Amino acid sequence: MNVTIIGTGNMARGIGRRLIAGGHEVTVLDRETEAAEVVVSDISAGGNARAGRSGDAIADDVVVLAVYYPDARAAVEHYGDGLSGKVVIDITNPVNDTFDGLVTPPDSSAAQELARSAAGVRVVKAFNTTFAGTLSEGRVAGQPLDVFIAGDDEDAKATVAKLAQDGGLNPIDVGPLKQARQLEAMGLLHMTLQGSLGTGFSSALKIIA
């Protein structure tokens, strides 16, 4: 598949590496093309990625919002109908400034808010409980990362699950998009535990049976 990643931070790098490891083509977009080119150089030695500028038309059917929640909202608003029909992966954890709560309404989530703001966009929540460094490796303590996936479009969720599985990860379908609220709470909890556990953002949430 061909996937566009909006953003050039550590999560863009981690997800980009998993996508390329799975044999997929990646386009990285940023306001500054030079920043996107640095990410492309970091994640791909084999020419499976290219750089572009934020605001350029997106031809790919899968888009990853690898930015903070306010920037994700801005990107969805900017592209508008240009995202209609596309699978848009929301990886955000909409935390407040003190990192002790979420800024979204108590009966909603970042993913649901994004979906409401863009008609026709197939929003899927994924990758918000995984850290960038662990994504780069794809494993923690010898175990593949679990990627929890929520969405209302079954085909869109299957697309995201395939991308994760191709990259050596373990996709887990947690249900409809309203479950994104629970995933974002999980993401916040996982973040806040890093200090007390001393794991330095190198831990993973894992379902074991």
pLDDT the model gives residue 155: 98
For residue 105, the model assigns a pLDDT of 95
Helix (H), strand (E) at residue 47: none
According to the model, what pLDDT value does residue 46 have? Answer: 65
Neighbours of 38 (CB within 10 A): 16
Which stretch of DSSP H or E encloses residue 204? none
Tens of pLDDT, residue by residue over 27-50, are 999 999 999 999 999 998 767 899
Q: What is the pLDDT of residue 118?
A: 87
| DSSP 8-state assignment for residue 71 | H
pLDDT at position 30 is 96
**Residue numbers of the chain with a pLDDT score lower than 70:** 46
Whether the pTM exceeds 0.75: the reply is: yes
Query: DSSP secondary structure string, 78-140?
Result: HHGGGGTTSEEEE----B-TTSSSBSS-TT--HHHHHHHHSTT-EEEE-STTS-HHHHHHSEE
Architecture of domain 2-197: 3-Layer(aba) Sandwich (3.40)
Sorted by where each begins, the domain ranges of the chain are 2-197
CB count in 10 Å sphere of residue 170: 15
